[in-house]
Structure 1
């Protein structure tokens, strides 16, 4: 089964990893919380977690995991979030760049 087929059936997991400098922590978390609150209201959002590394040496110290019940639900929420950001003038890439945050963002599906 290829990645495209996998994302058409079952849950879609959006997992974003962030390397956040200590000086940017509070502003980053405020923005992540605002996004989390919005996504929690979207149809198809099954779980929405913000995690901070507790041990280990991973350079990514924050992780967000959002489970969507389908690829269609993910796409609808992505479009809705994009519209909110467009109206508010919020540019995620500029925000991350200004704070010196490295991000690794991808969608995942369950294997097997």
Structure 2
């Protein structure tokens, strides 16, 4: 079997979160504000916030952001950071205070 990266495939940011029930509303408020910023950025092709409905697992929320390619990532990350500064948001502190655990990474689709 040959596995290769797709040449012109988009890049995906997949963020998985374990969110305590009591922090759900505050967490989703932060996610809504963040994704509103993302949706205004050139280079964001699509985004989704998913909530687990059944099955075992550590993570009960997943955010998937589709970038048009790796060249747009730094600009989009900078836009979110600028929003955070303007809004007075410290993401690491916010996640810690909400008891949220996260696993985040960039992914590329493979031709299999």
Structure 2: gaps of 5 or more residues: none
Aligned partner of 1:77 in structure 2 is 76
CA distance in 1: counterparts of 2:33 and 2:90, whole angstroms: 14
CA distance in 2: counterparts of 1:9 and 1:46, whole angstroms: 14
Q: Which ranges of 4 or more aligned residues in structure 1 deviate by more than 3 Å? A: none
Equivalent residue of 1:76, what SS?
Answer: helix
Aligned partner of 1:104 in structure 2 is 103
Structure 1 residues 96, 56: closer, same or farther in 2, change over 3 A? Answer: same
More strand by share: 2
More helix by share: 1
CA distance in 2: counterparts of 1:10 and 1:76, whole angstroms: 19
What is the CA-CA distance between 1:13 and the residue it aligns to?
A: 0.3
Equivalent residue of 2:110, what SS?
Answer: coil
* Structure of larger gyration radius: 2
Calculate the TM-score normalised by the size of structure 2.
0.89
Aligned partner of 2:28 in structure 1 is 29
Calculate the TM-score normalised by the size of structure 1.
0.89
Structure 1: gaps of 5 or more residues: 1-5
